[in-house]
A and B are shown apart, each in its own frame.
Chain A
Amino acid sequence: MSKMINLTINGIAVSIEQSKTVLEAAEKLNITIPVLCYHKDLCIAGNCRVCVVEQIGSQKLIPACATPVFEGMEIQTNSLVVRNSRKHIIELLLSEHNADCTKCYKNGSCELQELASEYKITNSDFIDLVPLKNYKYDDLSPSIIKDDSKCIRCQRCVRTCNEIQHLSALEVAYKGDHMKISTFAEKPMNDVVCSNCGQCIIHCPTGALVEKNYIEEVWDALGDPNKHVVVQTAPAVRVGLGEEFESKSGDRVTGKMVAALKRLGFDSVLDTDFSADLTIMEEGTELLTRLKQALVDGDKKVQLPMFTSCSPGWIKFVEHTFPEYLNNLSTCKSPQQMFGALAKTYYAQKRSIPAENIVSVSVMPCTAKKFEANRPEMRDSGYQDVDYVLTTRELAIMIKQAGIEFNNLEQDNFDKLMGNSTGAAVIFGATGGVMEAALRTAYEIVTGREVPFKNLEILPVRGIEGIKEASILIENPVDDWKFLDGVELKCAIAHGLENAHQLMTNLKNGKSEYHFVEIMACPGGCLGGGGQPIPTSPEIRKKRMEAIYAEDGAMPLRKSHENPEIVQIYKEFLDKPLGHKSHKLLHTHYTPRERY
């Protein structure tokens, strides 16, 4: 254990491990120190200065977030000079900030607004600097809106994009009064190396970075009597949505979410988990086929390892930064897009509804899904496969707008036909989940036996470690897969693009070798996605992860190939995994992109 340091804060004694900060010591005493640039996911910046406190004996105030504790330190967090300074700093931030709060998308959930309200900044007579600035508003990306007039230059987004996502699509440009957060050559967000992951959004304290919302479009569709509106909900939404209604993080609200969607007027409330199960069938088969081609046929063109392709942020990252690996990506569309393609074909046929009358909406923990739905490749049904993508947050807004008291709803069940799923599908929402689901099915196909893990819980692929490695030895396979006898299937999992970059670099340098790699763009996987409720933190993601695995454990079916609706769709419509129809509707291709 590290050395304990004794100090006092507002006269109260506290002792805390060496190397901790004044902010952490105050937290221990339940003393709140306001912060803006500080975020638990990010390295310390110490640049907003709202967390300044008085250190007795020092002429300057010190930033609580950036100052390590030392023995005998005496801190005052609420002295006159601290209050006056803090108020000044909030006033200064407001003078550069376009404070049209009532018209702001983040009205009510803005950290600056909260502070201004707390400190009652009602009579600031500093000069309004906003009209003097040439602020840009960029809404050209289908995922992210960047409004410089709302930016307080805390650089949380810059650190997020650099430290968590290794992209640095957002960077600091210029200095002094011209200093701003910008993209390469100030290009719009849709024209730079941005993965659309939305991590910048969930780390932005104000309305400077928000999702492009499609709330009105969806309301319009719901109000149109000629449209049949179907909705699919991603696995991670059900473990996050509750947070928008003040439940604890990690509460599972699947049934209430379904009930709310029905009340909103969706004609059919379906589940992306269904198409997650389908993804396992297609992707698992693709993996085994690749292994056969590589190991038996000696086909040099077959690329291994195979990478998962569920995460559109990860896809765009590969397209920009490792385009030479595009052939390693599974050709499977993401579950959202498989669902979309089937909604306007299989579903339309079964329900005898003309495809042009179907509006397909998805609720995703993700902003990159908005970009994905708009990709030109994603129109295999003859229409745009997914019309509108809502984030978890947008769904919460709609529920509130509709006057639905979410917490008092009775639980409801998904509708039939693409509404049924297994535990293997729900774990797609956590890092390692796709891997686990794929192994549960693939191992059984190959050996005829269940994976050799208690309760089907493949623990080595679970958890929040940045890069995980696991291997599974294949013994006594069934006749079709005899060539895999004794093969040790090597897998790796990474989440967050910084980790992905590390994994890719090792791969490229020949430092590691795998057969199958799962990568999710966001930390923790989809449960920590850029469309999830704000705030986010390592603890919150951990809670959501526990909820995901609890949801899996509670499902009667735990393996994708046992989903009866999956069996049915192959029988009635798709024929077989990687079959002709699958190939047309469920698989795609990728586009190399420039870094700049």
Chain B
Amino acid sequence: MGKKQLRRVDLIFANDDDYLQILKKSLDIPTEEIINEMINSGLKGRGGAGFPTGLKWKLTGESKGKQKYIICNADEGEPGTFKDREILTQVPYKVLTGMAVAAKVAGATKGYIYLRGEYRFLVPLLNKEIEKFHVLCKDAGLDFKVEIFLGSGAYICGEESALMESMEGKRGEPRNKPPYPTEVGYMGKPTVINNVETLAHTFTILKYGAKKFRDLGVQDSRGSKLFSVSGDTPIPGIYELELGMTVQDFVDDFSDGDCKAVQVGGASGFLVPRKRFAETNIGYQGKLTGISLPTGGSMMLFNSSRSMFNVLDNYLDFFQEESCGQCTPCRVGCQQLVKGIEAVKRGDKPASYLDKLLKLTDTMKYTAKCGLGQSVANSFQSIVENFREEMIY
């Protein structure tokens, strides 16, 4: 074919039956060495925000406090993302191992898996796994207990501070930051909160060492990443791919041959139009040239039969409903955006009104309290700027 094939990786779902040894071995390694391994691996948070995992563990370890917590964020709610569910189904022990090692590093004795309410069916399976894990921890001399906390269905509770509020029995509303969870987290105590996939990757690093992980990917985007591929593709599913690929390479492998745009990172991510496929990379920081997009792993392909107006309208409707409602730019901004593009489409507002809305999304990006409100601008700006005619006509 002559076409570059994406490098598929098979680390996360590889069934490792040596996990007890990995756990024991890791617990014997001095804390500092583990932190160094994690930092050297270049692993960054796989929920989408991309905070260096090793640094997070280190900061929590350094925070003062007798009681500390480890939380696994399994409130997988980003539209188009379905990888965490699969990890928890197939290799939950990797996540638990990651939590145990994080607990040792941070000095925590209690951990929680904040499980998306819709994943309730996973509870029996996970509990069985947790029971086994508790025995292993005891054998390994680690005082660490994990419990499942079931979410109630609000998208915003995937935001780490809203998640903690909800665990404390309050309304799931994001907190002011600083302070960050590494200092003031669950119940006001220092807390490590990691995405399911991030924890699964730590297992890979613990097993094979930082180098193997670091050898994958490019520059600031190291390792592999799970992608939830959906939309107009003949082969939807979950794929583990090396970071740093261009959208073009991705489309070559996955599209139905008629791809006009790819939404990277779900509703809160960016839309990449065909003309930008070649120059856009999937990763964290920019390469020397081109744009680089961080992502929680949702890749939605749209072919030419799709109306980008409908796509955007759908996203905005989602945000309008899933905003927690506490901060003005997000609560009212989302309503204005939905009503605004609909008014332009109907002809009740002139096309130039789109420019006012674009400015509004800038304000939302600068002033919203949490990532939800801030990232509405991503899809809005990338869709309106690239498919303006579809918004109007």
Contact = CB atoms under 8 A, between A and B. Distances in A.
Interface stretch (B108-116, B246-254, B272-280, B366-374): B366-374
A289 to B, nearest CB: 46
A85 B363 contact: yes
- Which of A84, A92, A176 has the most B CB atoms < 10 Å from its CB? A176
Interface stretch (A47-55, A206-214, A219-227, A393-401): A47-55
Contacts of B156: 175
B328 A52 contact: no
B141 interface: no
A117 to B, nearest CB: 18
Contacts of A179: 323-326, 331
Contacts of A155: 326
A418 to B, nearest CB: 50
A95 interface: yes
B340 interface: yes
Interface residues of A, number: 39
B360 A88 contact: yes
If over half of B's interface residues share one DSSP class (helix, strand or loop), that class is named, otherwise mixed; here it is helix
Interface in A158-185: 172, 174-179
A81 B366 CA distance: 9
B286 to A, nearest CB: 14
Contact of A175 (B154, B339, B366, B368): B154
Contacts of A45: 326
Given A95-B336, A153-B326, A179-B326, A52 B366 contact: yes
A46 interface: yes
B336 A176 contact: no
B334 A176 contact: yes
Interface in B359-385: 359-360, 363, 365-369, 374
A127 B340 contact: yes
Given A46-B369, A60-B367, A84-B359, A92 B324 contact: no
A177 B321 contact: yes
Interface in A547-568: none
Interface in B308-366: 319-329, 331-336, 339-340, 343, 353, 356, 359-360, 363, 365-366
A237 to B, nearest CB: 36
B234 interface: no
B154 A93 contact: no
A176 B340 CA distance: 17
B23 to A, nearest CB: 39
A68 interface: yes
A47 B369 contact: yes
- Which of A93, A132, A152, A153 has the most B CB atoms < 10 Å from its CB? A153
A302 interface: no
A479 interface: no
A44 B332 CA distance: 21
Contacts of A47: 326-328, 369
A176 B343 CA distance: 20
Contacts of B176: 44, 46, 63, 66-67
Interface string B172-187: 0100101000000000
A89 interface: yes
A24 interface: no
Nearest to B170: A172
A353 interface: no
- Which of A50, A66, A126, A155 has the most B CB atoms < 10 Å from its CB? A126
B359 A153 contact: no
Contact of B328 (A67, A93, A175): A93
A326 interface: no
Given A49-B329, A66-B176, A175 B322 contact: yes
B374 A129 contact: no
- Which of A50, A84, A88 has the most B CB atoms < 10 Å from its CB? A88
A127 B336 contact: yes
Interface in A328-364: none
Contacts of B327: 46-49
A49 B178 contact: no
A175 B321 contact: yes
A61 interface: yes
Interface in A36-88: 44-50, 52, 59-61, 63, 66-68, 81, 84-85, 88
B171 interface: yes
A174 B320 CA distance: 12
Contact of A126 (B319, B336, B374): B336
A95 B343 CA distance: 15
Contact of A153 (B325, B333, B343, B366): B325
B367 A85 contact: yes
A282 interface: no
B64 to A, nearest CB: 16
A127 B344 CA distance: 11
A126 B310 CA distance: 21
A96 interface: yes
A179 B319 CA distance: 13
A96 B365 CA distance: 20
A85 B326 contact: no
A92 B333 contact: yes
Contacts of B335: 96, 129, 177
Interface in A452-470: none
Given A68-B178, A175-B321, A84 B363 contact: yes
B325 A175 contact: yes
Given A60-B374, A127-B343, A176 B359 contact: no
Interface string A128-139: 010010000000
A489 B332 CA distance: 57
Nearest to A44: B176
Contacts of B171: 172
B317 to A, nearest CB: 10
A93 B332 contact: yes
- Which of B319, B321, B327, B340 has the most A CB atoms < 10 Å from its CB? B327
Contacts of B336: 92, 95, 126-127, 129
B325 A92 contact: no
A84 B366 CA distance: 11
Nearest to A171: B171
A297 interface: no
Contact of B366 (A48, A85, A125, A172): A85
Contact of B325 (A50, A81, A132, A176): A176
Contact of B331 (A85, A125, A177): A177
A44 B319 CA distance: 25
A61 B178 contact: no
A7 to B, nearest CB: 15
A46 B333 CA distance: 17
Nearest to B336: A126
Nearest to B339: A127
Interface in A259-285: none
A48 B320 contact: no
A89 B331 CA distance: 11
Given A48-B327, A49-B327, A88-B367, 15 more contacts: A47-B369, A49-B369, A61-B367, A67-B178, A84-B363, A85-B367, A89-B367, A95-B336, A125-B356, A127-B336, A129-B336, A153-B326, A172-B173, A175-B321, A175-B323
18 contacts: A46-B327, A47-B326, A47-B328, A49-B327, A59-B366, A61-B367, A63-B176, A89-B328, A96-B332, A127-B339, A129-B332, A129-B339, A153-B331, A172-B325, A175-B154, A175-B325, A179-B324, A179-B326
Interface of A: 44-50, 52, 59-61, 63, 66-68, 81, 84-85, 88-89, 92-93, 95-96, 125-127, 129, 132, 152-153, 155, 172, 174-179
A-B complex: 10 closest residue pairs judged by Cβ atoms: A179-B325, A92-B332, A66-B176, A88-B363, A47-B326, A176-B321, A46-B176, A176-B323, A85-B363, A61-B366
